[in-house]
Each structure stands twice: as C-alpha cells, then as structure tokens.
C-alpha cells in the first residue's frame, strides 16, 4: 500500500524512502506482525516445527541447534514442546495464536504490529494472550502497536492510546488520562458502549 501522505519512521528513518521496492528482509526482521485470525495465519499443511524452522533458517536466527531453538520458542509462549509435532488444526485458537507469536519472536524483532490479536479468541483465552504480550513488552523491551476495539485490553496493554474515527486520528494521550477524561464524542461513546471493566491484569490468566 502506498500512503497518500506522511512518513513511516523506524528509529527516525523514513522506511518509505529507504525501502522503495518493498520491505527488505532486514526490515521484516525488525518489524513483525501478529494477525487477527490464528486459524488463517498458519500454513495448515505444515507442522508447528516446520513453521518455526523455516523462519529461523530464513533469517539466520536459529543458531547451531534449530530444533532446540524451536522448542525454546514454544516454551517461551507458554506451550509444551510436544506441540512441535502438531498440525495447526490440532491446536486450539489460543494455542495457534501463541504459535504465531512464537514465530514472530523467532526473528527477535524490535517492533510488533498486533492487529486485533485476541478478537477471535474466547474471553478466558484472551487474558492469557494479553499477559503474554505484556510480558514480551516489559521483559524484552519490544515496542508494540496494538490495534483493537476493546478498550479494556487497550487500557491494560498500552502506555498511550490513539483513537481513530472514520479513518482519522481524533484523540490521543496517556492511556489512563485519556480514558478518564475523553475529549472527543466518539471516544466518550466508545467508553459508554464497552463500559470498560476492571484491568485485565486482575483476572486469573
């Protein structure tokens, strides 16, 4: 997609200028994406180990023992290494999303773009995935752009919230301050519609 205006900057460098022919492998390693649909983002013909191994070999991040690195990755997202032999259809939605996150971590990114990563999961499973993302942010220092309609999860995960209405940015600021004193009518309506509950962190993972 070519934007009509503006810039996309990574560490102060405009990537639309430096990556004119499309995202390079180096850029893709630094910026990774977790998709909304865990049922469609994994190749159904490949076992989990093959999915992770391909990424490790492509980006050269597997080290001397690729199989052990795959096992470490799935364990880092709260799964048993036994899932490496499974096909995606044999896993639950939450497990698939964790595998998708493990695939992202395989390249050791600086930034994760997360597009509604919990919207297709059961409520009880969403909490675990949110806690996982929060841990990655805090423990590994990974920056995250989290797209969601769920203000409760936004409040839990985000330091800053930016509200979009009909494709335009209408309001933004520090999360707790913005939600406590929304200035734009659309933000106020979102708060009324979703009736933001207690922080997700208080729930049991």
pLDDT digits (tens, 9 = 90+) for 170-180: 999 999 999 99
The pLDDT value given to residue 2: 76
d(CA 90, CA 103) in angstroms, rounded, equals: 17
Confidence check: pLDDT of 200 > 80: no
Q: What is the mean pLDDT of residues 79-98?
A: 95
Task: Give me the helix-helix angle, 93-105 and 48-59, nearest 10°.
Answer: 20
The residues, any chain, with a CB within 8 Å of residue 71's CB and separated by 6 or more, are 81, 84
The pLDDT value given to residue 53: 95
User: In 3-state terms, what secondary structure has residue 167?
Assistant: coil
Q: What is the mean pLDDT of residues 173-194?
A: 89
Quick one: what percent of the chain has pLDDT higher than 90?
62
Q: What is the mean pLDDT of residues 124-135?
A: 90
Tokens of 96: 């698939």
The pLDDT value given to residue 23: 84
Confidence check: pLDDT of 201 > 70: no
Contact 130, 100 (CB under 8 A): no
Tokens of 68: 């052990």
d(CA 171, CA 162) in angstroms, rounded, equals: 6
The pLDDT value given to residue 77: 94
Bridge partners of 165, per DSSP, are 168
The pLDDT value given to residue 52: 96
Name the band, by pLDDT with cuts 50, 70 and 90, for residue 3: confident
Name the band, by pLDDT with cuts 50, 70 and 90, for residue 197: very low
Confidence check: pLDDT of 195 > 90: no
Our CA angle for 101, 36, 113, nearest 5°, is 60
The pLDDT value given to residue 20: 82
């Amino acid at each position: 997609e070519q934007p009509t205006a503006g810039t996309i900057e990574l560490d102060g460098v405009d990537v639309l200028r430096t990556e004119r022919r499309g995202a390079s492998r180096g850029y893709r390693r630094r910026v990774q994406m977790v998709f909304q649909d865990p049922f469609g983002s994994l190749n159904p013909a490949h076992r989990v180990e093959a999915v992770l191994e391909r990424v490790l070999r492509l980006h050269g991040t597997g080290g001397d023992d690729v199989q052990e690195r795959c096992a470490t990755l799935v364990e880092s997202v709260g799964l048993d290494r036994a899932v490496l032999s499974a096909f995606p259809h044999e896993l639950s939605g939450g497990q698939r999303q964790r595998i998708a996150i493990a695939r992202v971590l395989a390249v050791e990114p600086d930034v994760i773009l997360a597009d509604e990563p919990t919207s297709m999961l059961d409520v009880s499973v969403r909490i675990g995935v949110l806690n996982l993302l929060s841990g990655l942010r805090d423990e590994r220092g990974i920056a995250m752009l989290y797209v969601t309609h769920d203000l409760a999860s936004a409040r839990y995960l985000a330091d800053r919230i930016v509200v979009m209405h009909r494709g335009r940015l209408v309001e933004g600021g520090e999360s707790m301050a913005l939600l406590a004193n929304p200035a734009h009518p659309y933000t106020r309506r979102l708060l009324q519609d979703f009736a933001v509950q207690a922080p997700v962190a208080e729930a049991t993972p």
